Chain A
């Protein structure tokens, strides 16, 4: 049980902190959250800056502990969020790093690190959400390409993506639905792709529907073997649930501090119920940070892909995040109805946390079946 960082890790932290202090004040103002092209440009600009300063690789090449320090420091300093680069940096990239060939890593990873290429995730379909393995978008081999037809839904950032991590069915007659799936990298400018933005309850076009009409995807874009895509998918999901939210815990702790400040200013701090609610959340988010350090220690010891511990974290975190922004509303009082006020848009978007990346019900199934060993339900 050791929470102390090594000298080398602390030196990394200090360097990063210095660099952030120099660069953050010079950043251009944040773009309008509804303007996706502007957001893409902003997020990629930030990624480029990280790349040039030598910090981009931390997601894949450095030790999990360095990654933890990176996320902790960038969030603490209030640096821009990964944003449009979420999929590329936090789960498609790590999947390719873990499962791709040398050529594939060479082709796809550097542009993500440089902020040149943005990825999206084409997993869900209208009839395949929680039951992801029942997906129907099919791919038929034609020479050196797969010809893909079907549709995807809830594809975040599809509007501005260059690549899509796409799940397709390559063997409709497989003995089990999990067996006939393949993981492809699909170029978003290929003919036959139509993206139709969907409006979220927050008013933004965060995600989109995608229609795929005989889209040709080169066979060399397949990550893993044909029909072995479910295994690759599990790797992707373990990153998505295991490590993708790490930085956000720090962000939530920062918000909590801001809320306490606001409450002291507007008088709500005098209400013990409000005070205690914030105090409780502070204990929760600190514990979640400690749980992250625990999971990272495990990952560091076992090397690589995060385990099912990510589901334990994701379950608790997604609910705590919603409670945080409800507490923000309690602090704001009537101002909670003003969408122009800080935190209110975040409150709306926090509603997605118990759904996206696997609903809480699905996470509970995973914890019960894969960690506790209870029988699988049908």
Chain B
């Protein structure tokens, strides 16, 4: 047993991070916030980099990697706040022509919502009668589905979607933790950096603890692929993303409440992802049923 990342996995993670820093830096992020549309060039670049074809077998033109690698890649996407129906398109690779290459944008209804409906070329599933709502997240347009909300299973394709969502949440949680710590080390009040104050220090420590517990859960679920473990990982990762964003906002003081700071974008996206299946209650029930 060696749970640590292999050298190849580390290299993959670093490569994706570098790619995203180059293609989707802070300026691009803020431009996307103001513009609201999906950058098709970026989408194709992601396709070229193997983002969508990652788990397709090599014979089928894919990269031939597994769930653990996909988790690392989506963690980086979450870190960078990369917008778009990334997971739906990734899941469609191999079945929807053009998805694997990033030529086609695919979305799929999940729970009460469907994301990016207007921008999508293909919808996998039934989005009939979906009504546009003013999305809380400026980077995720949402349509609300009519009728009762179905439970998302955590097996099969939905299980992969749940796990990759958890990976995005993990990336966001570690990003807001780093951001809070960096701010706490530079911002001064009362003649010292605020990170020297225990009240701030302890907020930061809890952010790290939450993130690392979620990381262990998400990575392990990627290795085992066990549906209950996936549900538990989603539960802990949702919580880490939401709570770390909140604490990060708190550490930033008034600055944290501004549109200009990126913290709110992390929090809002974390809320959107937490609505994807399985939501908190369903994940807890899935865990309980297995006891």
Contacts and interface: CB of A to CB of B under 8 A. Distances in A.
Interface in A32-90: 65, 68
A260 B216 CA distance: 24
Interface in B216-245: 216-217, 219-220, 222-224, 229, 231-233, 235-236
Contacts of B209: 312, 315-316, 367
Given A368-B202, A369-B201, A283 B217 contact: yes
Nearest to B67: A1
Contact of A372 (B4, B204, B216, B222): B204
B135 interface: no
Nearest to A281: B287
A21 interface: no
Chain A residues touching B, majority SS? helix
Contacts of B202: 361, 364-365, 368
Given A1-B219, A371-B208, A374-B184, A283 B283 contact: yes
- Choose among B3, B215, B220, B290 the residue with the greatest number of A CB atoms under 10 Å from its CB: B3
A309 B184 CA distance: 21
Interface stretch (B29-37, B103-111, B149-157, B190-198): B190-198
B60 interface: no
Nearest to B211: A312
**Interchain residue pairs A-B with the least CB separation, the first 3:** A283-B232, A279-B288, A279-B287
Interface in A322-336: none
Nearest to B290: A282
Contact of A3 (B1, B197, B285): B1
A275 interface: yes
A282 B4 contact: no
Nearest to B181: A372
Nearest to B5: A1
B236 A375 contact: no
Given A288-B213, A374-B204, A276 B281 contact: yes
Interface residues of B, number: 52
A276 B201 contact: no
Contacts, number: 166
A279 B284 contact: yes
A297 B217 contact: no
Interface of B: 1-6, 9, 68, 181, 184-185, 192-193, 195-198, 200-202, 204-206, 208-209, 212-217, 219-220, 222-224, 229, 231-233, 235-236, 281, 283-291
Nearest to B193: A375
A318 B223 CA distance: 27
Contacts of B68: 1
A79 to B, nearest CB: 22
Contacts of B212: 291, 309, 312
A182 to B, nearest CB: 30
A4 interface: yes
A5 B202 CA distance: 36
A256 interface: yes
A140 B290 CA distance: 60
Contacts of A298: 4
- Choose among A5, A280, A288, A368 the residue with the greatest number of B CB atoms under 10 Å from its CB: A368
B251 to A, nearest CB: 11
A279 B283 contact: yes
A373 B84 CA distance: 35
B213 A316 contact: yes
Nearest to A264: B291
Given A276-B288, A278-B287, A316-B209, 18 more contacts: A2-B1, A259-B291, A260-B291, A279-B286, A279-B287, A280-B284, A282-B232, A282-B290, A283-B217, A283-B235, A286-B229, A287-B232, A293-B1, A294-B215, A312-B213, A315-B205, A373-B185, A374-B204
A141 interface: no
A369 B181 CA distance: 11
A42 B192 CA distance: 55
Contact of A364 (B193, B196, B205): B205
30 contacts: A1-B3, A1-B4, A1-B219, A1-B222, A3-B1, A65-B1, A68-B1, A275-B285, A279-B286, A279-B289, A282-B291, A286-B232, A287-B216, A287-B220, A288-B213, A297-B1, A297-B3, A301-B2, A309-B212, A361-B202, A367-B209, A368-B195, A368-B204, A372-B204, A373-B185, A374-B184, A374-B204, A375-B185, A377-B196, A377-B197
Interface string A236-276: 00000000000000000000110110000000000010011
A286 to B, nearest CB: 6
A369 B202 CA distance: 10
Contacts of A214: none
A290 interface: yes
A375 B193 CA distance: 8
A375 B4 contact: no
A278 B196 contact: no
Interface string A203-215: 0000000000000
Contact of B205 (A278, A282, A367, A377): A367
B284 A286 contact: no
A284 interface: yes
B217 A287 contact: yes
Nearest to A283: B232
